[in-house]
Structure 1
Amino acid sequence: MGPQSKRFLKVFFLWLPVALAGAYCATSLPVWTTQAKGLIEELTRVSSANLKMLWNLPVLAAEETQKTRFLLEEVARLRAQIRSLKEAQEVNQAASKKALGAYVEMSDWALESSGATIDRQRTSETYDCQENWGCRVLWFFRAAKPPETILQADVSPGNCWPFQGHQGQVVIRLPARVHLTAVTVQHISKDVSPSGTVISAPRDVVVFGVDADGEEETLLGTFTYNVAKEAIQTFPLKNAPLPRAFPSIKLLVKSNWGNPAYTCIYRVQVHGKMAQPESPR
């Protein structure tokens, strides 16, 4: 082989890889270009979505913060409502308990229909007013009422118990042993009095607690019934409610409002708490 042939072969083998590479690139470049373009488009789309998401993050965060704040406010409101309902329930329970206690203390233990009676042996005699013209006018020509009248709810004019003079007493047997708290005395007002006056109303009154056999009396209080005030007047007893319970109570009227012939009592109410039954010994 001559020198030219060798040179040709040498040049041929030197440029062959280049030619092959060029041919390969010429055929593969469009494919790469298409793939690269697709990758770029995908990256652009993903990047755009990510950028949009990142761009909206503050808005989303603000919305979530607002939702959280709303939920917290709703929880606080519900807690406040629960607290308010609980406080209202406690107030209602306390009021009911107080009202029940007041009702028990102000219940009338001197009511004939509930079992209260008059101890006639320790009570003043009923005044006989048949010879007294003014007295007969007051009771509409009817006989005077017995002392049990003060244990009844009827306080119509003339329906009262009279005793002679300005001093007298009545002992009321209670239907149970009671820790006494107050006594209520009732008379009619001047406006509805048939005589046009209330001078027969009791004035100064003393209250005693009486034991079971009637021998021992305990001073519970003194008070004045004022005819210038309401017809129904309640007088708390000292140290009420009394730690000791009494089965009977005594009202001693020491004076009236000017009637020298008789004193008239319309109604007496006794208030307190019933004592617990005594255990058998």
Structure 2
Amino acid sequence: MSSMKEVMLRLVKEGVEEHCADLEGRRRSYAAAFTALLKPGGGGRFSWACVSEFSTLPEVQQLKEAMLETILEGRAQRSERALRSSGATIDIQRTSKSYEWAENGFCRALWLLCSAAKPPETILQPDVTPGQCWAFQGSQGQVVVRLPAPVQPTAVTVQHIYKAASPSGTVSSAPRDVTVSGVDEEGEEETLLGAFTYDVEAEAIQSFPLKHKSSRAFQYIKLSVQSNWGNPEYTCIYRVQVHGQVASRSSSPAAEETTSPSLNKK
């Protein structure tokens, strides 16, 4: 009985070792195939049979499915939700007044170079050529964006231009300290979602994860600029993007009001 047990254990051990050796061999073939593919000029020659064979392994299939799920989730969360062409708009009543360029001394001196004031909707469009920005007076202001649908926001992206591309030769009008909040339609409730600093010495496009995560979805997002980089007359914003997952109807505030029973109902 004991000898039979030993034989079974030996067979199992040999089977495991053989399977592991087979997996290692396939892994090496898979790595060699892609190494050849990545050589300069793509001149490496290899057989795709090993790749196809390796990709059918259950372990690889599970890994591929997990990677695909992660990629799709990331794309959903990073999708642009504040795009004018998709239906995003500006709540003018709760947005700072646009800066009047006619009052600017630089524009009075070089009036041919200055165009009319751009509306706040400018920040919802992908055109970020120099001068295509929305400006408000002073170093503090706000803009409220109405998204096409309620979203559970995860990050915000702010874009300015590089100093070398600036018509004035400076980026002192870029926003500096910024807060982001979710607000309701009437403006009575406000939920702080995050605060960050836009760095003019870094990349022109900067994304900021919202650290104050909320399970609630918002259709109105308020971007409040607390300071800029030194321009006393105006602050310019080129583009604002809101990222996050579009909420289901049951998780939106409007749906909650619709589905919740009324306390006064008899």
State whether TM-score is above 0.5: yes
2:113 corresponding residue in structure 1: 140
CA gap 1:239/1:132 in 2 versus in 1, 3 angstroms: closer
Q: Which residue of 2 aligns with 1:178?
A: 151
Is the alpha carbon distance of 1:102 and 1:126 closer, same or farther for their aligned partners in structure 2, counting shifts above 3 Å?
same
- Indicate the residue corresponding to 2:245 in structure 1: 273
Query: Aligned partners of 1:207, 1:252: CA distance in 2, in Å?
Result: 6
CA RMSD of aligned residues (A): 2.6
TM-superposition CA deviations, 1:74-95 (whole Å, max 9, x none): 9x84998677632222222212
Q: 2:135 aligns to what? A: 162
The CA distance in 2 between the partners of 1:122 and 1:250, in whole Å, is: 9
| CA deviation vs aligned residue, 1:116-136 (integer Å, no higher than 9, x gap) | 100000000000011324257
Instruction: Assess, with a 3 A threshold, how the Cα gap between structure 1 residues 209 and 78 changes in structure 2: closer, same or farther.
Output: closer
Write out per-residue CA displacement over residues 168-222 of structure 1, whole angstroms, 9 at most, x where no aligned residue: 0000001111111111100001011111100000001111101132211111111
Q: Which moved more, 1:208-217 or 1:112-121?
A: 208-217
Q: Which residue of structure 2 aligns with residue 219 of structure 1?
A: 192
Residue of structure 1 equivalent to 2:91: 119
164-173 or 203-212: which moved more? 203-212
Amino acid at match of 1:93: E
**1:91 aligns to 2:63 (yes or no):** yes
- Whether the 8 Å contact between 1:151 and 1:268 is mirrored in structure 2 is yes
1:179-198 alignment to 2 at 5 Å? 179-198=152-171
Describe the superposition over 1:248-270 as per-residue Cα deviations: whole angstroms up to 9, x where unpaired. Answer: 10011011001011000000000
Distance 1:139 1:218, change over 3 A: farther
TM superposition shift of 1:73: 6.5
Q: Is the 8 A contact 1:139 1:159 kept in 2?
A: no
Q: How far does residue 239 in structure 1 lie from its aligned partner after superposition?
A: 3.7
Q: Does 1:104 align with 2:80?
A: no
What corresponds to 1:131 in structure 2? 103
Q: Write the distance in 1 (CA, Å) between the matches of 2:112 and 2:128.
A: 13
Partners of 1:78 and 1:228 in 2: CA distance: 49
Give the direction of change, closer, same or farther, for the CA distance of 1:217–1:113 in structure 2 (3 Å limit): same
* Distance across 2 between alignment mates of 1:78 and 1:236: 40
After superposition, the Cα gap between the structure-2 partners of 1:79 and 1:86, relative to the gap in structure 1 and judged at 3 Å, is: farther
Q: Is structure 2 residue 179 aligned with structure 1 residue 206?
A: yes
Among candidates 244, 251, 273, match of residue 223 of structure 2? 251
Aligned to 1:39: none
8 A Cα contact 2:133 2:236, kept in partner: yes
Q: Distance in 2 between matches of 1:139 and 1:208?
A: 38
2-structure distance, mates of 1:101, 1:264? 33
**Between the two proteins, what is the percent identity of the paired residues?**
61
Q: Which amino acid aligns with 2:238?
A: Y
Q: Does the CA contact (< 8 Å) of 1:138 and 1:158 recur in 2?
A: no
Instruction: Tell me how far apart the structure 2 counterparts of residues 119 and 105 of structure 1 sit (CA, whole Å).
Output: 24
Looking at structure 2, the residues matched to 73 and 209 of structure 1 have their Cα atoms a distance apart, in angstroms, of 58
Counterpart position of 2:125: 152
8 Å Cα contact 1:138/1:195 also seen in 2:
no
* Aligned residue type for 1:165: G
Count of aligned positions: 210
Q: Which runs of 5+ in 1 are unaligned?
A: 1-68
SS class of match (1:196): coil
Q: Choose the corresponding residue for 1:263, options 235, 240, 245.
A: 235
Taking structure 2 as the reference length, the TM-score comes to 0.72
1:231, distance to aligned residue in structure 2 (A): 0.5
Partner Cα distance (1:138, 1:252) in 2: 30
What secondary structure sits across from 2:222 in the alignment? strand
Change (3 A) 1:264 1:78: closer
